[in-house]
A and B are shown apart, each in its own frame.
Chain A
Amino acid sequence: MRVIAIKVMIGLEVHCQLNTQSKLFCSCEAYPQNAKPNESVCEVCLGYPGAKPVLNKKAIDHVVGIGIAMGCKINSETYFSRKTYFYPDMPKNFQITQYEVPIASEGTIEVNSSKIRIRRVHLEEDPARIIYANGSLETTSYVLIDYNRAGVPLAEIVTEPDIGSPKDARAFLEKLSAILEYLKAYDQSTGASLRVDANISIEGGERVEIKNVTGFENVEKALNYEIVRQQNLVRLGRKVERETRHFDEVAKTTLPLRKKEFEEDYGYIFDPDLPVLKISAEWITRIREKMPDLPDKIAARLADEYGLGAYDAKIIVYTGSDFATFFEKVCKIHNKPVEVSRWMINYLLKSLNWRSERLSQSKVTPETFAEFLDMIDKGKVNERYAKELIKEYVDTGDKPSEIVERAGSPPTHDEMERTVKNVLKENVKAVSELKAGRLEAKQYLIGMVLKETRNRGDPKAIARMISEELKMPL
């Protein structure tokens, strides 16, 4: 991969759909499951004339918590503003947000040893969801709008342009999302999502905004693409225009969003339907006291309590709170933390990722996983075989003992001996190399035996059999 040695400044605006039951300004269900379009709506979130907003207390608590977790200052008097602009996804053609004074400001998050400054964390409402009736953004002749999403509470987290690379941007997002998850401010299982607007400029040039990217991998891709695009422009002697673009997930490119003859003038006013919000020191203390442990702290504890390496502890914690909880539960049953950690990080996680499944959504349980590790320990299943088994285990959630039984009984001693004899007969070259003292040949032969037995059988026992057959010392 080419290392880009130019000065890149990246700032992110992350919109996090907050973990509440009801919407920000009305009592409609925020995350209805299997809902038809426009089913969870009312006159308030539809922006019908005469309807008025009433704040959701839980949403405020969440944003205060997020601010505290990022070391922000919590502002004692904060206001809501109307950001007026016209767009088909806007029920009122103004968005209620916080312009002048956000709930939280001036914090930091440390990522890969760089301190990323957090400019602000504020509360605002989500617009409706648009889908294209026929075609893409450019080609559809009209759009279809679902207001189920309109009014969902969003925490907007804005960074300074302190992020220096697309890779760091991704790392930042992964850390941020873990923090939000541990705070219980963000719960993916309800269908809530994080959307990112990324701002990037290279070599101190004009800033380009890429709007509404979902998925951290896509953010990284979009930023990588932008760097190349902007560099190409510069190379051709052209200017990088200040503009807004969107990320095409299919083509993996960024495209201009709309050519505007003028810049939007949001004409901010204080929302006159919403009174001032005064956040007292007691309120902040209450939230701070009830706050769950944050990922870094938990990782340090796991490393300390369970003797894990700091890096591995971080992986377990940042994969998700369900992952970390699972780890501790398994360790209670199968008290070999390093082994548990190794199998979770290197194999369990891979299988889950392959199924695009989170641990909490899967059929895996601490009891069955502990049994799995126990079988490996006792030699009932060899490691190579276990690595295959784990896929089936994650797929089915069946007890490992059952899976092994289904696969048929392991080869008997006689069957093993017969297989070893066959392999030795067929691999003459390897045998002579082994006899000549080349130990790698032994590994090769063991491998060939395991290939025959579909990875059943204890490699140590096979090694012994080979030595006996060839009348060699072990």
Chain B
Amino acid sequence: MPTYDATVVTKTKSAGGMILGKTAQDEFGFGTFSDTCAYAVPKNPIDPERTCGGSSGGAGCLAAAADFPHIAIAESTGGSITAPAAFTGTVGLTPTYGRVSRYGLIDYSNSMDKIGVISRKVYDSALMLSVISGHDPLDSTSSRAESGDFTAYVGKSVKGIRIGIPKEYFSDVDRKVSKPVEDALGRLEGMGAKTVDISLPRTKYAIAAYYIVAMGEASTNLARYCGMRYGAQEKIDGEFSEYFSSIRSKYFGEEAKRRIILGTYVRAAGFRDAYYTKALKVRGLLIKEFKEAFAKVDVLATPSMPILPPRFDEIESMSPLDKYNIDKMTTAPNLCGFPTISVPAGKVDGLPVGLQLIADHFHEGELISVASAFEGDSD
């Protein structure tokens, strides 16, 4: 039971927003398919045999299915806004790291967690972003970058906008997904945008670096859950080590346990430099690589996800590593804190495909312009 409001909630309420409730997500945000939700698993409104994506699956589901004006607040660490947006055919806006205060956000990976928006229209995401952005003295990582009204970027022309196409994001992707994205880029060119071929060769290290840092940080964030003061508790009995182990083992889901153990491992003495510290250096390298690209282009364009929304039985047969690899379109920009937006780029076999746009730090404006232009053209 929360004893305080998150800053995002306070801002929403001050702006006159009505909080309807909470939506389902993977436990602690650990997942790409919302298949580890504590309560029921959200089913894709387009095809209930299929996933909504995750971890903000419930948000995506509601955004797609609600027949009343509604905007969902969602969270992304490695792509958990983009995945549900792509799989439910909605708009998912992941702001720059530090753009939105994390105060009150239950931590997964503090150097990568970002609160964002899932909505039907780009305008709604831009509106919500304007409400929830801004410096917060309660969050030491919160940025002082100018926020303001992001809806001003809606409807701007894309003439002359340079869109980079990183080739690494189009290899090893289901053709059913890359085709609509390529078509989308063609349409944007038709509106006056210029596409530029780009290479981001260090992309191949992104998933490993992402998961090392994310699990490393997560394993410390989850240490506080030990049956004291809040959460699952049982009768205090026995010595603390026994009590803590017993309660944690009983109440954490399998994926949470897996990530805690892996996260503990990458931080452990003897492994820390090779994994954790190295991954942080790789992050530095990746940021540099992206920044070099942004010197040449305004946004990057990729498919949001490498596959169409899978069925639940397909997900069942995936190994944990298979699942981690599904994040490969989103991990690099998320690890590096760059803002992204996912817009519906059409349907294949009746299933939605998302176009992901990535911009430089604090350049959400460009994302909103291009996305809204594309959305306007699609209508």
Check A272 against B230 for contact (C-beta < 8 Å): no
B254-290 interface (Cβ within 8 A of A): 264, 267-269, 272, 276
**CA A82 to CA B219, docked complex, whole Å:** 11
Min CB distance, B141 to chain A, in Å? 6
Check B268 against A265 for contact (C-beta < 8 Å): yes
> Is A88 an interface position by the 8 A CB rule?
yes
Interface stretch (choices A52-60, A227-235, A308-316): A52-60
Check A272 against B264 for contact (C-beta < 8 Å): no
Check A52 against B224 for contact (C-beta < 8 Å): no
Q: How extensive is the interface on chain A, given as a class?
A: 20 to 34
Check A273 against B140 for contact (C-beta < 8 Å): yes
Check B217 against A54 for contact (C-beta < 8 Å): no
**CA A84 to CA B269, docked complex, whole Å:** 12
Interface stretch (choices A41-49, A68-76, A189-197): A41-49
Check A88 against B240 for contact (C-beta < 8 Å): yes
> Is B318 an interface position by the 8 A CB rule?
no
**CA A272 to CA B141, docked complex, whole Å:** 8
What residues of chain A lie closer than 8 Å to B110, measured between beta carbons? 271-273
A244-282 interface (Cβ within 8 A of B): 265-269, 271-275
Interface stretch (choices A89-97, A290-298, A372-380): A89-97
Q: Which residue of A lies closest to B243 (CB)?
A: A88
Q: Which residue of A lies closest to B237 (CB)?
A: A142
Q: Which residue of A lies closest to B276 (CB)?
A: A269
Check B226 against A86 for contact (C-beta < 8 Å): yes
**CA A46 to CA B276, docked complex, whole Å:** 28
> Is B105 an interface position by the 8 A CB rule?
yes
A81-117 interface code vs B (CB 8 A; 1 in, 0 out): 0101011100111100000000000000000000000
**CA A271 to CA B267, docked complex, whole Å:** 13
The residue that B140 contacts in the complex, of A50, A87, A275, with Cβ under 8 A, is: A275
> Is A131 an interface position by the 8 A CB rule?
no
Check A86 against B111 for contact (C-beta < 8 Å): no
> Is A461 an interface position by the 8 A CB rule?
no
What residues of chain A lie closer than 8 Å to B223, measured between beta carbons? 84, 86, 92-94
What residues of chain A lie closer than 8 Å to B216, measured between beta carbons? 269
> Is B39 an interface position by the 8 A CB rule?
no
User: With A50-B104, A54-B138, A268-B267 in contact, is A91–B276 under 8 Å at CB?
Assistant: no
**CA A53 to CA B221, docked complex, whole Å:** 13
User: With A55-B140, A269-B220, A273-B140 in contact, is A50–B268 under 8 Å at CB?
Assistant: no
> Is B328 an interface position by the 8 A CB rule?
no
Interface-central residue, B107, B137, B220, by most chain A CB under 10 Å: B220
User: With A86-B240, A265-B268 in contact, is A274–B224 under 8 Å at CB?
Assistant: no
Check B107 against A49 for contact (C-beta < 8 Å): yes
Check B220 against A267 for contact (C-beta < 8 Å): yes
> Is A407 an interface position by the 8 A CB rule?
no
> Is B109 an interface position by the 8 A CB rule?
yes
> Is B196 an interface position by the 8 A CB rule?
no
B191-245 interface (Cβ within 8 A of A): 216-217, 219-220, 223-224, 226, 228-230, 236, 240-241, 244
> Is A51 an interface position by the 8 A CB rule?
yes
Check B244 against A142 for contact (C-beta < 8 Å): no
User: With A267-B267, A268-B267, A272-B109 in contact, is A54–B224 under 8 Å at CB?
Assistant: no
Min CB distance, B249 to chain A, in Å? 13
The residue that A53 contacts in the complex, of B2, B105, B140, with Cβ under 8 A, is: B140
> Is B103 an interface position by the 8 A CB rule?
yes
Min CB distance, B48 to chain A, in Å? 32
What residues of chain A lie closer than 8 Å to B264, measured between beta carbons? 265, 267
Check B269 against A91 for contact (C-beta < 8 Å): no
What residues of chain B lie closer than 8 Å to A265, measured between beta carbons? 264, 268-269
What residues of chain A lie closer than 8 Å to B140, measured between beta carbons? 52-55, 273-275
**CA A243 to CA B229, docked complex, whole Å:** 31
**CA A265 to CA B102, docked complex, whole Å:** 29
What residues of chain B lie closer than 8 Å to A46, measured between beta carbons? 229
Check B244 against A272 for contact (C-beta < 8 Å): no
Check A50 against B224 for contact (C-beta < 8 Å): no
**CA A46 to CA B228, docked complex, whole Å:** 11
Min CB distance, B137 to chain A, in Å? 7
**CA A53 to CA B110, docked complex, whole Å:** 12
The residue that B220 contacts in the complex, of A51, A52, A55, A94, with Cβ under 8 A, is: A94
**CA A275 to CA B118, docked complex, whole Å:** 29
> Is B4 an interface position by the 8 A CB rule?
yes
B116-159 interface code vs A (CB 8 A; 1 in, 0 out): 00000000000000000000011111000000000000000000
Min CB distance, B150 to chain A, in Å? 24
Check B272 against A87 for contact (C-beta < 8 Å): no
What residues of chain A lie closer than 8 Å to B267, measured between beta carbons? 84, 267-269
What residues of chain A lie closer than 8 Å to B107, measured between beta carbons? 49-50, 273
The residue that A87 contacts in the complex, of B103, B229, B240, with Cβ under 8 A, is: B240
Q: Which residue of B lies closest to A271 (CB)?
A: B110
A329-371 interface code vs B (CB 8 A; 1 in, 0 out): 0000000000000000000000000000000000000000000
**CA A94 to CA B223, docked complex, whole Å:** 7
Min CB distance, A438 to chain B, in Å? 74
Check A50 against B106 for contact (C-beta < 8 Å): yes
Check B272 against A43 for contact (C-beta < 8 Å): no
Min CB distance, A28 to chain B, in Å? 13
**8 A-B contact pairs sorted by A residue (CB < 8 Å):** A47-B224, A51-B4, A54-B138, A265-B269, A269-B220, A272-B111, A272-B141, A273-B139
The residues of B with any CB-CB pair to A shorter than 8 Å are 2-4, 6, 102-107, 109-111, 137-141, 216-217, 219-220, 223-224, 226, 228-230, 236, 240-241, 244, 264, 267-269, 272, 276
Known A52-B140, A54-B137, A267-B269; 7 more pairs at CB < 8 Å = A50-B105, A51-B104, A52-B139, A86-B240, A91-B229, A267-B220, A273-B141
The residues of A with any CB-CB pair to B shorter than 8 Å are 43, 46-55, 82, 84, 86-88, 91-94, 142, 265-269, 271-275
| Top-5 shortest CB links A-B | A267-B267, A93-B223, A272-B110, A272-B111, A50-B104
